[in-house]
Amino acid sequence: MKTTLSLISITLFSFCATRCGNNKQEENTTPIEVTDTIHQQKDTVVIEEDDETSYKLPSALQIAYVSKKSGAPFNESILNKTENLSRYNTSNYKRAVNFGVYSSDLANCLFNKKYQESKRYLKALTETGATLGLKQAFESDKLAERFDKNISNEDTLVQIVSNVQLKTDNLFEQNKQKHITVIAFTGAWIESIYIANQAYELQKNKKIHSSICEQLTFTKTLIKALEATKLKEPEMPELLNAISEINNAFNNIPSVKSATENDRELNFDKMKFTDTDMIPTMELVKTLRTKMIN
Amino acid sequence: MKKYINLTCALIVFISTTSFQNGDILCDSKTLKEKAKSALGPYKYDSSELTRIIYKKTETVKEIEIPLFIGEKYRFIFNLEAIPKNIEVQIYNKDKDSKNRKLLFSSKDGGLDRKELQWEVSKVRQVYINYIIPPTEDGSYSGCAVFMIGYK
């Protein structure tokens, strides 16, 4: 009888251990419970139901891809230095926002075929990612080795970085860190606009200008995403405020204002801008970027 | 000994059936997303999302707002393998509270029982995915839907 009980206990324990517990072993499998409360009840696994509305913002890779297509030249000196990395392990916000900034810098190096620089930024991302619980995404599949092997093949490198992106998306999802993805996006987006604007100031290229404006239209969704998660980190209300100011400045540009008020499609290639129109918006972008990376 | 093994097996079957009754489905996010990624074809991976679907007594709608670059081409992939009861996927140009929104895509057109959906779009600045979750009376169900965006 004692043997029977032991056997049953071991079996039940094993069953529970594999079915109910150990997130590390089953990190990609989420058991769904029929209820949508957020409380942990005795003997049941209860999960949080997603919000009724969610927001999906683009990756740093896609933003850099679009920016590159506009003809923006590469200038390594304006990227955030990888030496600054040691400054950022002070808060979740600082880690996340600079994870985004470095993602954008890496993507810029990649699409401009600056492979040695890409390698340096990938290393910086790996280190920042580790502090955000993303170690697994960067360590799996011999990432560094594969990167080295394909160092001069843009398509393969972009593919490798896209795979890392998918893995980090999965980990953020599993770790319920939606707000971290929003902060990281904000960092990547600000960095990308900053880089594009530096190029525009040098070249006054209309296509680069249109690409900056296209990126600025994302503020509407970004503000909603920040609103939905603003209580998750103490720095988020201030970030939301800064993005709202950028949004207001952009929407106050006469041609943008007129198109919006008259419900006309925003066609930045055809709209008229004076040289000074973008200055208030870009000053706010520069100020926020400086604050993020220091 | 055989008796003990039988007893143990019976116990496991009992626990399995009571733990995951009413049509609950395990969401293996990694596998579902890998399948979706293989359907992206020549499009580069941009982002993805797993949405938990919980069926209630009344119809519910889950919305995902997605800003896009107007000059880019996109492919959307939906994997609905982990959905126990068919849902409808709709894509609009405006959010669910807007009056004059235009339906750009509906999974109804090709049959609601499809487990993988594909939709391509360009020259659009914003889209809104709506998951229309039908009501259920026969107990509670839950599952999950995965969508992925690729660009080129």
Q: Where are the domains of chain A?
A: 60-293
Q: Please determine, for residue A4, whether its predicted confidence score (pLDDT) is greater than 80.
A: no
B131 assigned to some structural domain: yes
Residues of B in contact with A65 (CB under 8 A): 44, 151
Residues of A in contact with B33 (CB under 8 A): 166, 170
Where are the extended beta strands (E) located within chain B? 27-28, 44-54, 60-67, 73-79, 88-92, 103-106, 116-122, 126-133, 142-151
Mutate: best of A56, A167, A217, partner B, most B CBs <10 A: A56
From B67's Cα to the closest Cα of chain A, the distance in A is 6
Q: Of B113 and A28, which is predicted with more confidence?
A: B113
Looking at residue B123, the DSSP 8-state letter turns out to be S
Q: Are B70 and B149 in contact (CB under 8 A)?
A: no
User: Which of these, A83, A89, A161, A80, lies nearest to A132 by C-alpha position?
Assistant: A89
Q: In the prediction, which pLDDT does A145 show?
A: 86
What are the backbone angles phi and psi of residue B119, rounded to the nearest 5°?
Answer: -145, 135
Q: Of B71 and A293, which is predicted with more confidence?
A: A293
Mean pLDDT across A40-62: 68
Residues of A in contact with B126 (CB under 8 A): 221
Scanning B79-118 for CB atoms below 8 A from A yields 95
Is the ipTM of this structure higher than 0.90?
no
CATH number for the domain harbouring residue B31: 2.60.120.380
B60 assigned to some structural domain: yes
Provide the domain count of chain B. Answer: 1
- Determine the Cα–Cα distance for residues A50 and A169; give it in Å rounded to an integer: 16
Supply A242's token pair: 């800064």
From A9's Cα to the closest Cα of chain B, the distance in A is 9
Q: In the prediction, which pLDDT does B9 show?
A: 52
B144/A163 Cβ within 8 A: no
Q: How confident is the model at residue B142 (pLDDT cuts 50, 70, 90)?
A: confident
Mean pLDDT across A186-200: 97
A50/B52 Cβ within 8 A: yes
B15 assigned to some structural domain: no
- What is the CA angle A13-B54-B57, rounded to 5? 120
- What is the CA angle B82-B64-B121, rounded to 5? 95
Mean pLDDT across A235-239: 97
Rg (CA), chain B: 19
From B50's Cα to the closest Cα of chain A, the distance in A is 8
What is the tens place of the pLDDT at every residue in B93-137? 999 999 889 999 999 988 888 999 999 999 999 999 999 999 987
- Dihedral of CA A126/A128/A130/A135: which sign? negative
Nearest to A11 among B8, B28, B142 (CB): B8
Q: Of A23 and A154, which is predicted with more confidence?
A: A154
Residues of A in contact with B20 (CB under 8 A): 31
Q: Please determine, for residue A12, whether its predicted confidence score (pLDDT) is greater than 60.
A: no
B16 assigned to some structural domain: no
B140/A11 Cβ within 8 A: no
- Determine the Cα–Cα distance for residues A7 and A1; give it in Å rounded to an integer: 10
CA dihedral A264, A267, A268, A270 (to 10 degrees): -100
From A18's Cα to the closest Cα of chain B, the distance in A is 12
Q: In the prediction, which pLDDT does B7 show?
A: 59
b/e burial code for range A34-48 (CB count within 10 A of at least 16 → b)? beeeeeeeeeeebbe
Mean pLDDT across A157-165: 91
Supply A61's token pair: 């890779």
Mutate: best of A166, A218, A260, A265, partner B, most B CBs <10 A: A166
Cα dist from A154 to A113, A180, A270, B73, whole Å: 7, 28, 33, 20
Size of the A and B interface in Cβ pairs below 8 Å: 139
B112 assigned to some structural domain: yes
Q: In the prediction, which pLDDT does A43 show?
A: 34
**Nearest Cα residue in chain A from B124:** A265
B44/A61 Cβ within 8 A: yes
A31/B24 Cβ within 8 A: yes
Q: In the prediction, which pLDDT does B3 show?
A: 62
pTM score: 0.83
By the CB < 8 Å criterion, does B39 face chain A?
no
**Nearest Cα residue in chain B from A16:** B15
Q: Of A87 and B13, which is predicted with more confidence?
A: A87
Its domain, for residue B70, covers 23-151
Q: Are A49 and A33 in contact (CB under 8 A)?
A: no
B65/A55 Cβ within 8 A: yes
**Nearest Cα residue in chain A from B13:** A15
What is the tens place of the pLDDT at every residue in B51-75? 999 998 899 999 999 999 998 999 9
- Determine the Cα–Cα distance for residues A185 and A167; give it in Å rounded to an integer: 16
